[in-house]
Amino acid sequence: MADKAIEIVDVTFRHKIPRPRFLKPWHSVNGPGIFGLNFALEKGAIIGLVGPNGAGKTTLLRVLAGINKIDQGTVLLDGTDLSESSESLGHELRSNVGHMPEQVRWSGRATVRQTIEQFAEMRSKTIDTHKLLKLVGLLSKRDSTLDELSQGMRQRLSLAIALMGNPKILLLDEPFNGLDPVAAKSVEKMIKQLASRGVAIIISSHQVDGLVDLIDNLLLIHRGQIIADGSIDQIETILGLDNRIELSGLGDIPPFETILENGVVIEQTIEATDWRCVIQHPDVNLIENLIARGHKITEWRRKSPDIVELLCCATGLEIEEIGMDIQPTTMVPLRNTGEEE
């Protein structure tokens, strides 16, 4: 069994919302956050952390990075309970975890080289800034000011700083934002190389599609709780979203009710000259049968669930409840059983 880089047990953190009173101007109440989370991240693994806005993704990353102090729970680093360390929990995490926030507003007249050197001076170990800039593709921009950088270049600078000190764990919050396809592929290749060296990586994202070929496992989070944990195939099977294909064709839609032996049509769209449908558990010879009957198939592919489908199946909620509902700050999120506390 692979070694665990980090493990959290029953970890809870809730944001403090100011609620001043006449005699207690500093009074606050517990707001949203993360609730009793349990999961382990193995060395060399790439985990996709997926959920809608406000699900708790960034909060969880800030807890793992040692920025937010947990309210309760246990954090183990390399199997060692950090509560028993002589150093603070936050210090231990910051010494071993590299964190790339979703947005860093890099601006000013300082150059890229000056900026990364300033961050390197805060480290106890010597940092090869030239090597870091080369690694993230910013070496040619080392003398450019921060104001001259594009959004993609700013993302690369954030990544370079997250990689300082050769962290054992790397947390990436929407790392592909602002990157063109070529740059995104370059970052993806870098992530795989780091994982091959034993670095444990968590990638936070709003989308599942872009992570399918990159991650080993998926953590689906909603209202501060993990509602699905495992490989994408495992989660699809558990939620009943496995073995689906999407078909498109020209002309009249085939009479699937007479053609299919085992499969089920779960979605279909008919236009004037073409059609599209999604079939779950299709017959092995379905495509051959359709072509033999004279139907024109223009495209067929495996249908992967998107985040909305995953959330709806895992929580039992409708799309409107997930996407439009405004969660009160005092509300504790859905449990895995679908009940509220």
Burial of 328 per CB tally in 10 Å (0-12, 13-18, 19+): exposed
Mean pLDDT by groups of 10 residues along the chain of 341 residues:
85 92 88 92 94 87 93 92 82 90 88 93 86 90 92 88 91 86 85 93 84 88 90 87 91 90 90 92 90 92 81 75 47 40 33
Question: SS3 for 132-197, per residue?
Answer: HHHHCCCHHHCCCEHHHCCHHHHHHHHHHHHCCCCCCEEEEECCCCCCCHHHHHHHHHHHHHHHHC
Got the DSSP string for 61-91?
A: HHHHTTSSPPSEEEEEETTEEGGGSSS-HHH
Angle in degrees, 0-180, between the axes of helices 112-121 and 151-162, rounded to the nearest 10: 20
**Helices within the chain (DSSP H only):** 57-64, 89-96, 112-121, 129-135, 151-162, 181-196, 232-238, 256-259, 286-292, 307-315, 319-323
Q: Are 174 and 151 in contact (CB under 8 A)?
A: no
Q: Are 138 and 160 in contact (CB under 8 A)?
A: yes
Q: Are 212 and 236 in contact (CB under 8 A)?
A: no
Rounded distance between C-alpha atoms, residue 243 and residue 233, angstroms: 9
Between the alpha carbon of residue 39 and those of residues 1, 49, 73, 77, the distances in Å are 15, 12, 12, 12
Rounded distance between C-alpha atoms, residue 330 and residue 30, angstroms: 6
Rounded distance between C-alpha atoms, residue 142 and residue 103, angstroms: 20
Q: Are 61 and 173 in contact (CB under 8 A)?
A: yes
Q: What is the pLDDT of residue 75?
A: 94
Q: What is the pLDDT of residue 323?
A: 54
Sheet with strand 264-270: strands edge to edge:
264-270, 274-280, 244-250, 296-302
The DSSP code for 269 is: E
Backbone angles phi, psi at 122, to 5 degrees: -80, -10
Q: What is the pLDDT of residue 116?
A: 93
Alpha carbon 256 to chain centroid, angstroms: 37
Token couple for 265 = 């049509």
Q: Are 206 and 176 in contact (CB under 8 A)?
A: no
Rounded distance between C-alpha atoms, residue 297 and residue 276, angstroms: 10
Q: What is the pLDDT of residue 334?
A: 44
Q: For tokens 């953590």, what's the residue?
A: 219
Q: What is the pLDDT of residue 183?
A: 81
Q: What is the pLDDT of residue 1?
A: 44
The pLDDT tens digits for 215-259 are 999 999 988 999 999 988 888 888 888 889 999 999 999 999 889
Q: What is the pLDDT of residue 170?
A: 96
Sheet with strand 28-42: strands edge to edge:
28-42, 4-18, 72-77, 80-81
Between the alpha carbon of residue 181 and those of residues 21, 187, 188, 236, 316, the distances in Å are 52, 10, 10, 27, 35
The DSSP code for 334 is: B
pTM metric for this prediction:
0.81
